[in-house]
Amino acid sequence: MPLRTNQSQPTHDRQLSRAEPVEIWKARKFIEQHSIEELSLTRVAKAVNISANYLSEKFKKITGVNFVDYVARARTEQARVLLEDLDLRVSEIGFAVGFQSLSQFNRVFKKLSRKSPTEFRSSLLKRSKVRRVRKSDR
């Protein structure tokens, strides 16, 4: 699933009006496939066979977000899905999606989600309880 950028149009709509350069598409795919690993601009640039400076400039121009923020968003999206699994600890999830420390995971997740991972999980639990109650009322 493509990440939404901070621009008003979803990524796929912008791509219809202006083709995404192949090297940026490849970079985004590489990030999605390797997001749990340590990722650097240099590593991704080498993987798509362009310079790090060119990737940095082009990535921001095309996606609307810089490389570091894009990687953080990709990891946070994966974490949101994993937080639904109550058998996984928050710390396990943070490391599983590629964050280097629990404090980094908490800080980035809260910045992007406006809730800590624990608060996000609690809100998921509350919503699922409300759904179960509504179903049982039927």
Stretch 67-85: mean pLDDT: 95
CA–CA gap between residue 107 and residue 42 (Å, rounded): 24
Stretch 108-132: mean pLDDT: 88
Q: Mean pLDDT over all residues of the chain?
A: 86
- pLDDT per residue as tens digits for the range 16-73: 446 889 999 999 999 999 988 989 999 999 999 999 999 999 999 999 999 999 999 9
Stretch 84-109: mean pLDDT: 96
CA angle, 105 as apex, 85 and 38 as ends, to 5°? 100
Per-residue model confidence (pLDDT) at position 69: 95
Indicate the domain borders of the chain.
Answer: 1-65, 75-138
DSSP string of 19-46, one letter each residue: PPPHHHHHHHHHHHHHTTS---HHHHHH
CATH of domain 75-138: 1.10.10.60
pLDDT at 1 over 70: no
Per-residue model confidence (pLDDT) at position 19: 82
Report which of residues 106 and 1 the model is more confident about. Answer: 106
